[in-house]
Amino acid sequence: MSAYQLDDWADFAVASAGAAAALTGLLFVAVSINLKRILEFPWLPGRAAGTLGMLLTVLLVAVVLLAPGQPRQATGIEIAAISAILAFQAILIARHAYEHMRDRLSWVLWAMLLLLLPALALMIGGISFAIEAGGGLFWVLGGVLAGFAGGSVNAWVLLVEIER
C-alpha cells in the first residue's frame, strides 16, 4: 500500500466514513439524553460542538478520499483545508473553556488536545499527500484514529461522566 495512491485507500475511506457517521449518531444520543445537564456547564456545549466538528471532519476527509478522478494535489489541499477549520475551532473552544475554567487548565488543555491532535495529523497528511513527501496518507490514518479516539472519549464524557 502506498501513502500516495488513492486507490489503495478506498476501503479505509469507506470504513472511516461509516464509523464517523456511527460515532456522530452516538454523540447526538449523548447530547439529547443529557442536554439540560450539558447546558449547566458553560464549557460543555463547546466540547460537544468540537466533537461534532471533529467527527464531521473525519467524514468529510473520507468523502474527499473517495471522490473519483481528483488530482492528488487537490485531494491533499482539500484535506488540509478541512482539517485547518477543525484546528481553528479547537482553539476557539479552548479559549472559551479557559474563560470559564481558569482554575482547571489541565482539563482545558486535555479537551483541546482531543480536538487539535487529529486536526494537526490530518493537516500534515493533506500537505504531505499533496507534495508527495513525508508520509502522505499514513498521517491521515493517524488523524482519523485520533479523531475516533477523541470522539469516543468526548461522547463518553457527555453521556456518562457528566452524571458523576
Decide if 12 contacts 61 (C-beta within 8 A): no
Distance, in Å, from the CA atom of 20 to the CA atom of 66, rounded to the nearest integer, reads: 14
In this structure, is residue 62 part of a structural domain? Answer: yes
In this structure, is residue 110 part of a structural domain? Answer: yes
In this structure, is residue 40 part of a structural domain? Answer: yes
Total count of domains within the chain: 1
DSSP label at 26?
A: H
pLDDT digits (tens, 9 = 90+) for 36-71: 999 998 888 988 999 999 999 999 999 999 999 999
Domain that holds residue 132: 6-163
In this structure, is residue 1 part of a structural domain? Answer: no
**pTM of this prediction?**
0.91
pLDDT band of residue 161 (cuts 50, 70, 90) is: confident
Q: How far apart are the first and last CA of the chain?
A: 45
Distance, in Å, from the CA atom of 107 to the CA atom of 85, rounded to the nearest integer, reads: 22
pLDDT digits (tens, 9 = 90+) for 63-106: 999 999 999 999 999 999 999 999 999 888 888 877 777 667 77
In this structure, is residue 68 part of a structural domain? Answer: yes
* Farthest-apart Cα atoms in the chain, separation: 51
